[in-house]
Amino acid sequence: MLDLIIKGGTVATAADTFRADVGVRDGTIVALGLDLGAAAEVIDASNKLVLPGGIDSHVHIAQPSGEGIVMADDFESATRSAAFGGNTAVMPFVLQERGTPLRTTLAAYHAKADGQSYVDVSFHLIVSEPNAQTLGQDLPALIEDGYTSFKVFMTYEGLALNDREMLEVMATARETGALVMVHAENNDAIRFLADRLERAGKTAPFFHGPSRPIPVEREATHRAISLAELVDVPVLIVHVSNREAMEEISRARRRGLKVYGETCPQYLVLTEKDMDGLNMEGAKYVCSPPPRDAAHQQACWEGLQQGVFDVFSSDHCPFRYDDPAGKLNPKGRTSFRWVPNGIPGVETRLPILFSEGVGKRRITLQQFVALSATNHARMYGLTTKGSIAIGMDADIAIWDPEREVTIRQSGLHHGSDYTPYEGISVKGWPVTTIVRGRPVVRDGELVGAKAHGRHVARARSAYATPRGG
């Protein structure tokens, strides 16, 4: 007897679309077919799509964000919001704190996440202090324990690594088989431009964009790829916003390098113009890299269509707007420089991609599944996730492809007090989200337990294997 049958739906994977019922036992998919017999529970998926649960491999939850600034989500609210958005797993970052062993910081994140998550969680690390202890001991041990990817920053005071440090970190990744994710923006160029804007009295949130124009991102993308080439290690450029940075990735690939790309909803449906004339309300859109213009949105679509981008993530990095610990903190009112960087989006990532992508025939349903789930699992070594197949975790999102929704803050479940996607109409919405065989959201209602989500240790990814290695 099965625990659960999802009956009558149309299943789609990254490879195929087919009619099948899905049988689940002990949290695992054990049967696909048309007459699966009896089950303790049956979910009717007639006229629905049965898709692998979304994996959002780039989210920030309860991450320290500067003095007096507090992220809008804890693990409970972020993973609840993720589940309502059709996600069954999220991958947040553990930010290394200077002077504190990485493992100590990691334990603090586990204390915040474990028992508090509706969906599964798997941590990346952020390396901000690449000293001998970090590179020689902590990182290799943590990678062995299943934290097989880490991010490095080329910008932000206290986070940015110089080129020598980038090389050291990349060399460690090569030795240990970890995947390096890079935030590619040139810190000195941003400081120079921000200083100049401030001297000219251009301090409103709108000027966040002009302080980080495309050459800032393109140059750092090129440099990150070149540094990775020097040590012969694969690299993933995260949150790519524009054609010029994409071209750096494509050119590197043509030369045979293993360079991967990620883009996010903000680069498909927001533009710099959204901030124009808004004064402080422009802070609602401050994220880095900043959204560009319609031509670069089109470029990002082409990148999704043509495979320049392997993964599509939200970069959910939520702050409240009307809050002294959020976007409108006292220093943030004096200059864009102090407006916390990041926007919420874990719940809206997939409906936006589905509606604008599949609905408007820019991408196929198979590309949607790959970009929303399967490629994330493969990229990061989540070996039992990301597809609907025998033996995989029963992580499933049931979508109503006809449901029309206008995105409103009032309809979302995150901890932020706004959404930058307010008023965008979409067709297609995830109605039921099942994590390892248990419904967390069912027909739009929260039915799961916040202790159901668990941390998933990961394998090393084939994407991280050096060329020829």
Q: Give the binding site for ligand DUC (CB under 6 A).
A: 60, 183, 239, 288, 315, 317, 341-342
CA distances in angstroms from 288 to 71, 208, 244, 426, listed in the order given: 16, 9, 16, 25
Report in angstroms how near the CB of residue 296 gets to ligand DUC at its nearest.
18
Of the pair 23, 344, the CB lying nearest Zn ion is at 344
Tokens of 347: 């719940």
Of the pair 43, 240, the CB lying nearest Zn ion is at 240
Q: How far apart are CA 78 and CA 72, in angstroms?
A: 9
Report in angstroms how near the CB of residue 187 gets to ligand DUC at its nearest.
11
304 binds, among ligand DUC, Zn ion, none (CB under 5 to 8 A by kind): none
Q: What's the burial of 1, exposed, middle or buried (CB within 10 Å: 0-12/13-18/19+)?
A: exposed
Tokens of 457: 């240790």
Report in angstroms how near the CB of residue 156 gets to ligand DUC at its nearest.
7
Report in angstroms how near the CB of residue 227 gets to Zn ion at its nearest.
17
> CB under 8 Å to 423, separation ≥6 — which residues?
406, 407, 408
Report in angstroms how near the CB of residue 239 gets to Zn ion at its nearest.
6
Of the pair 36, 179, the CB lying nearest ligand DUC is at 179
Of the pair 161, 365, the CB lying nearest Zn ion is at 161
> CB under 8 Å to 329, separation ≥6 — which residues?
68, 69, 323, 338, 339, 340
Report in angstroms how near the CB of residue 309 gets to ligand DUC at its nearest.
15
Radius of gyration of the chain (CA): 21
* Strand bridging mode 259-263 / 235-237: parallel
Report in angstroms how near the CB of residue 240 gets to Zn ion at its nearest.
11
Of the pair 133, 162, the CB lying nearest ligand DUC is at 162
Q: 288-309 burial, b if ≥16 CB within 10 A, otherwise e?
A: bbbbbeeebbebbbebbeeebb
Q: How far apart are CA 349 and CA 411, in angstroms?
A: 14
350 binds, among Zn ion, ligand DUC, none (CB under 5 to 8 A by kind): none
243 binds, among Zn ion, ligand DUC, none (CB under 5 to 8 A by kind): none
Interface positions with Zn ion (CB under 5 A): 183, 315
Residue nearest Zn ion, Cβ-based: 183
Of the pair 86, 290, the CB lying nearest ligand DUC is at 290
Q: How far apart are CA 274 and CA 267, in angstroms?
A: 12
Q: How far apart are CA 208 and CA 193, in angstroms?
A: 10
Of the pair 98, 361, the CB lying nearest ligand DUC is at 98
Report in angstroms how near the CB of residue 100 gets to ligand DUC at its nearest.
21
Of the pair 264, 441, the CB lying nearest ligand DUC is at 264
Report in angstroms how near the CB of residue 80 gets to ligand DUC at its nearest.
20
Of the pair 264, 398, the CB lying nearest ligand DUC is at 264
Q: What angle do CA 243, 248, 254 make, to 5 degrees?
A: 115
Torsion, CA 348, CA 349, CA 353, CA 359, rounded to 10:
-20
Residue 315 identity (one-letter amino acid):
D
341 binds, among Zn ion, ligand DUC, none (CB under 5 to 8 A by kind): ligand DUC
In sequence order, the β-bridge partners of residue 343 are: 316
Q: Which of 421-424's residues contact partners 24+ apart within 8 Å by CB, and which partners?
A: 421/265, 421/269, 421/270, 421/345, 421/348, 421/352, 424/269, 424/348, 424/352
Of the pair 238, 352, the CB lying nearest ligand DUC is at 238
Cα dihedral 130, 132, 138, 144 sign: positive
Report in angstroms how near the CB of residue 257 gets to ligand DUC at its nearest.
22
386 binds, among ligand DUC, Zn ion, none (CB under 5 to 8 A by kind): none
Of the pair 349, 452, the CB lying nearest ligand DUC is at 349
Cβ proximity of 318 and 72 under 8 Å: yes
Report in angstroms how near the CB of residue 225 gets to Zn ion at its nearest.
16
